[in-house]
Amino acid sequence: MTMLDVNGLNVWFGKNRDRVDAVKGASFQVGTGESFGLVGESGSGKSTILRAITGLAPDWSGIITVDGTPITGKKRPRGFFKTVQMVFQDPYASLHPRHSVDQVLGETLHLHGFDDIDGRVAKLLDDVGLGQKFRFRYPHQLSGGQRQRVAIARALAPEPTLLLLDEPTSALDVSVQAEILNLLADLRADRGLTYLMVSHDLSVIGHMCDRLAVMRNGEIVEILDVDALRASNAAHPYSQQLLEASL
């Protein structure tokens, strides 16, 4: 089963002399229940692929199929976000500063038409290891790791099957990163989630993913298994270079 199929994806920003081709002809498949990683340097287009899937990058061409349904244009149908959710890089920027945790989660559940919002908010907080005492706090009263847990809870609220993770731990300390990575691994095992994870840190991808694509200047240069990565069996010189730099 293929959860996500990206075929010949191009994404660009701007026009004329300021046009930037952020992604050029990217193709990959992610199976149901798989964890797939995208690595590359900044500006290589890895986050842009996630943004194109969710409709945050309006100018794109190619074929994207999510769970058997092709997606088109800028707008996504409402049901799309019940399947696909995203966790952003910076938990300091992705939460509304004047909404309490309860409002953030409650609003998401309300928009997706759930009933028993009260019970679901409580359950979500327990699932991400925060507990009830955090329910009426505001983002500035939380640490970076706790905020990222709230962002993960928000992404889990519509019960998605595909989670797009855009550098979920790069703004966090290593000790907190370990907690969040453990949480993400547990959630995937419990709920049978599919992950598409972007990171610049090859060891994080190596820890979390089954397969990965190496990107450079908007192109996928190589797709390989994590086992091959661990055995230093990268074929493309750029992947070898990345691998050397992170060992």
Partner 1 sequence: MYGTCDVSLLDVKNLWVKFPSRHGVFDAVRGVSFTLGRERLGIVGESGSGKSMTGRAILRLIRPPGIVEADHINLEGVDLLQKSEKDMRAVRGERISMVMQDPKFSLNPVMTIGDQIIEAYRLHSSASKAEAYTKSLEMLEAVSIRDPERVMRAYPHEMSGGMGQRIMIAMMLIPNPEILIADEPTSALDVSVQRQVLDIMDRLVKERGMGLIFISHDLNLVADFCDRVLIMYAGRIVEVCDADKLHDAQHPYTRGLLNSLPRLDAPRDRLEVLKRDPAWSDAESVSGRI
Residues that bind partner 1 (CB under 8 A): 18, 40-43, 144, 170, 173-179, 181-182, 185, 200-204, 206-207, 229-230, 241-243, 245-247
Cα 145 to Cα 11, 108, 115, distances in angstroms: 32, 21, 29
Residues in the chain, how many?
247
Angle in degrees, 0-180, between the axes of helices 144-156 and 117-127, rounded to the nearest 10? 130
Instruction: Quote the crossing angle between the two packed helices 174-191 and 144-156, to the nearest 10°.
Output: 20
Q: How many angstroms separate the CA atoms of 38 and 213, rounded?
A: 5
- Closest-CA residue to 202 (of 145, 247, 148): 247
Q: How far apart are CA 136 and CA 38, in angstroms?
A: 35
| Nearer to partner 1 (CB atom), residue 105 or residue 167 | 167
Residue whose CB is less far from partner 1, 16 or 68 = 16
Task: Rank residues 89 and 108 by Cβ distance to partner 1 and give the closer one.
Answer: 89
Minimum distance of partner 1 from residue 43's CB (angstroms): 5
Q: Which is nearer to partner 1, 100 or 246 (CB)?
A: 246
222 bridge partner residues: 214
CB of 102 to partner 1, least distance (A): 25
Q: How far is CA 167 from the centre of its chain?
A: 7
CB of 177 to partner 1, least distance (A): 7
- Name the minimum Å distance from CB 68 to partner 1: 32
Q: How far is the CB of 16 from partner 1 (least distance, A)?
A: 12
- Which residue lies nearer to partner 1 by CB, 140 or 230? 230
